[in-house]
């Protein structure tokens, strides 16, 4: 990598001859929440498990507060990019902020200069460095602002690229609860039946999900980072901005966070999965919540409705997209024999050998579909058609996954008995 120009990202991969160059990456603060997630992603790329990136990872140098200081010299001499995630945010004494957030950054940059290593350096700062509003008297913010100035001065002195990010509230898997993330604390406590305290439900937080952050950090290595300027505490995209930012954040009230988490907690009882659209805060929060479940809650029972014919079990319900169930029919058994005005279903036999019959109400014509787990197919149960499913085997159960377009409502079942 050293033959690349000092002010270039490592992503160009020697495009003239098509050969990708290996990049050795140094991560400080590697045992922290962000560090753990970043290292996991870098290792996936290095080991060929993630082939979506146009970079080749060589050595991953992991450095933390308890590392031998001599390693910093070795790593700074050989690295091609630095993610500086090291910092102090919950010290015993306020003076430790400056020592941990400014002091270490200074040592890191001096070590890079010692070996004339002009590789790019990313700095994790905080929105508190704006020193605006409720952050005006923040010692943590002051230490982060001092660190930012140090990095910008370093860039001016050496011509090196620096990438300074002011993070809002972070959340995601592996974040330590009861520390500095309200999401981590709420997820942990609700998952483990512990109390939470919400002083003002209307408070709105700007939240950045760890996977979105890691995507941006990998984008730096490909020269695709996002730049911005700050309007107060708000990042505004600007290609010429000296700061960098993650474009995807979520502004959510504490009330909404708690509402969603309670729905997630109740899901094993209600079987109802709240709406979790692609890219939504709800989807990211649910993934986070699940990572805090204790062992005894990872598994939960389902109510099986069992009789001499077999069983029927509801598996999952959704708020707007119906429900999924599994039906088990014993050998020779016929189930169904009913029809619906508006409801429609899919029957998908996954094991066994069966026959599905359907007949339009008021007609004598029966349509039939022979089905088998050896060739899994989806069969529509049509509105206005009475239907059944017959186990044709004399020895094996017939197992059918059933999807209905709406949750079953005991008050309005839309289900009427009539033999096919």
> pLDDT band at 141, cuts 50/70/90?
confident
- 163/15 same-domain check: yes
Residue 123: inside a domain: yes
Would you place residue 101 in the very low, low, confident or very high pLDDT band (cuts 50, 70, 90)?
low
Question: Quick check: is 323 in a domain?
Answer: yes
Rounded to an integer, what distance in angstroms lies between the CA atom of residue 160 and that of residue 5?
A: 10
Percent of the chain residues topping a pLDDT of 70: 91
pLDDT at site 262: 96
Among the three residues 103, 134, 167, which one is the final residue of a domain in this structure? 167
Residue 234 is assigned to a structural domain of this protein: no
Parallel/antiparallel/unpaired status of strands 227-231 and 243-244: antiparallel
Which of 98-112, 253-267, 329-343, 365-379 shows the lowest mean pLDDT across its residues? 98-112
Q: Is 69 exposed, middle or buried (0-12, 13-18, 19+ CB in 10 A)?
A: exposed
Q: Is residue 181 part of a domain?
A: no
CA end-to-end span of the chain = 73
Collapse the DSSP code of 316 into the 3-class scheme (helix H, G, I; strand E, B; otherwise coil) and give the result.
strand
Number of neighbouring beta carbons within 10 Å of residue 324? 18
Question: CA-to-CA distance for 160 and 201, rounded, in angstroms?
Answer: 44
d(CA 282, CA 321): 16
Strands 353-360 and 227-231, bridge-based pairing: unpaired
Q: Does residue 88 surpass a pLDDT of 80? A: no
Question: What's residue 187's pLDDT?
Answer: 98
* Mean local confidence (pLDDT), 53-74: 95
135 occurs within a structural domain: yes
* Domain CATH code at residue 136: 3.40.50.720
In this model, does residue 3 exceed pLDDT 80?
no
Q: Which of 86, 76, 83 is nearest to 111 (CA)?
A: 76
The predicted structure's pLDDT at residue 274: 87
Residue 289, domain member (yes or no): no
230-252 pLDDT per residue, tens:
999 999 999 999 999 999 999 99
How buried is 251 (Cβ within 10 angstroms: 0-12 exposed, 13-18 middle, 19+ buried)? exposed
Phi, psi values for residue 224, rounded to 5°: -120, 25
- At residue 18, the pLDDT reads 42
Per-residue pLDDT at 307: 97
Average pLDDT for 153-181: 95
- Arithmetic mean of pLDDT, 264-272: 96
Full DSSP string of 221-253: HTT---EEEEETTEEEE-TT-SEE--S--EEEE
pLDDT of the residue at 136: 87
Print the domain residue range for 143: 10-167
Q: Is pLDDT of 10 > 60?
A: no
User: In angstroms, rounded to a whole number, what is the distance separating the alpha carbons of residues 391 and 139?
Assistant: 72
pLDDT surpassing 50 at residue 11: no
**CA 88 to each of CA 46, 91, 95, 124: distance values in angstroms, whole numbers, following the listed order:** 29, 6, 10, 11
Residue 16 has what pLDDT? 36
Q: Kindly report, residue by residue over 193-224, the tens digit of the pLDDT.
A: 999 999 999 999 999 999 999 999 999 999 99
pLDDT digits (tens, 9 = 90+) for 294-351: 999 999 999 999 999 999 999 999 988 999 999 999 999 999 999 999 999 999 999 9
Q: Using the 3D structure, point to which of 116, 134, 167 is the last residue of a domain.
A: 167
Whole-angstrom distance, CA of residue 45 vs CA of residue 195:
40
**Cα(17)–Cα(325) distance, integer angstroms:** 55
The per-residue pLDDT for 90 is 52
Averaged pLDDT of the chain: 91
DSSP state of 375: B
d(CA 136, CA 203): 18
Tell me what pLDDT residue 233 has: 92
Given this model, what pLDDT does residue 8 score?
A: 46
The closest of 171, 300, 188, 352 to 246, measured between CA atoms, is 171
- How many domains does the structure of the chain reveal? 2
Q: Is 208 helix (H, G, I), strand (E, B) or coil?
A: strand
Reported as a pLDDT band with limits 50, 70 and 90, residue 92 is: low
Eight-class DSSP state of 410: T
* pLDDT for the residue 21: 65
Residue 74 maps to a domain: yes
CATH code of the domain covering residue 388: 2.60.120.10
Q: What is the model's pLDDT at position 98? A: 53
Q: Which residues are catalytic?
A: 140
224 found inside a domain: no
C-alpha distances (whole Å) from 46 to each of 23, 60, 74, 128 are: 10, 9, 20, 34
* Domain C-terminal end among 107, 142, 167: 167
Residue 119's pLDDT band (cuts 50, 70, 90): very high
């Amino acid at each position: 990598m050293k033959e690349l120009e000092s002010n270039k990202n490592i992503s160009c991969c020697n495009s003239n001859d098509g050969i990708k160059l290996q990049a050795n990456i140094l991560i400080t603060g590697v045992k922290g929440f962000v560090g753990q997630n970043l290292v996991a992603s870098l290792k996936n790329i290095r080991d060929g498990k993630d082939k979506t990136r146009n970079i080749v990872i060589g050595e991953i140098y992991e450095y933390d507060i308890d590392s031998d200081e001599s390693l910093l010299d070795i790593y700074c001499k050989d690295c091609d990019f630095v993610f500086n995630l090291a910092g102090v945010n919950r010290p015993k004494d306020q003076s430790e902020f400056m020592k941990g957030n400014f002091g270490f950054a200074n040592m890191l940059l001096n070590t890079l200069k010692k070996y004339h290593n002009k590789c790019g350096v990313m700095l994790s700062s905080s929105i508190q460095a704006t020193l605006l509003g409720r952050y005006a008297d923040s010692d943590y913010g002051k230490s982060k602002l001092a660190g930012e100035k140090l990095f910008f001065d370093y860039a001016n002195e050496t011509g090196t690229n620096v990438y300074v990010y002011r993070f809002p509230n972070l959340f995601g898997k592996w974040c330590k609860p009861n520390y500095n993330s309200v999401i981590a604390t709420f997820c942990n406590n609700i998952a483990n039946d512990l109390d939470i305290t919400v002083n003002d439900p209307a408070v709105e937080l700007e939240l950045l999900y760890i996977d979105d952050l890691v995507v941006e950090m990998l984008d730096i290595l490909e020269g695709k980072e996002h730049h911005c300027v700050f309007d107060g505490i708000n990042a505004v995209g600007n290609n010429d901005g000296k700061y960098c930012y993650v474009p995807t954040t979520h502004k959510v009230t504490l009330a909404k966070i708690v509402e969603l988490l309670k729905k997630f907690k109740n899901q094993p009882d209600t079987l109802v999965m709240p709406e979790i659209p692609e890219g939504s805060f709800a989807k990211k929060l649910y993934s986070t919540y699940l990572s805090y479940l204790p062992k005894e809650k990872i598994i939960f029972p389902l109510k099986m409705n069992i009789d001499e014919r077999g069983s029927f079990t509801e598996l999952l319900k959704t708020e707007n997209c119906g429900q999924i169930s599994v039906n088990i029919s014993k050998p020779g058994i016929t189930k169904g024999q009913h029809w619906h005005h508006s409801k429609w279903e899919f029957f998908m036999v996954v094991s066994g050998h069966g026959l599905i019959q359907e007949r339009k109400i008021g007609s004598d014509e029966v349509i039939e579909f022979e089905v088998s787990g050896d060739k899994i197919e989806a069969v529509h149960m049509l509105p206005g058609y009475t239907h059944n499913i017959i186990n044709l085997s004399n020895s094996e159960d017939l197992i059918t996954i059933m999807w209905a377009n709406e949750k079953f409502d005991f008050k309005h079942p839309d289900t009427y008995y009539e033999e096919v």
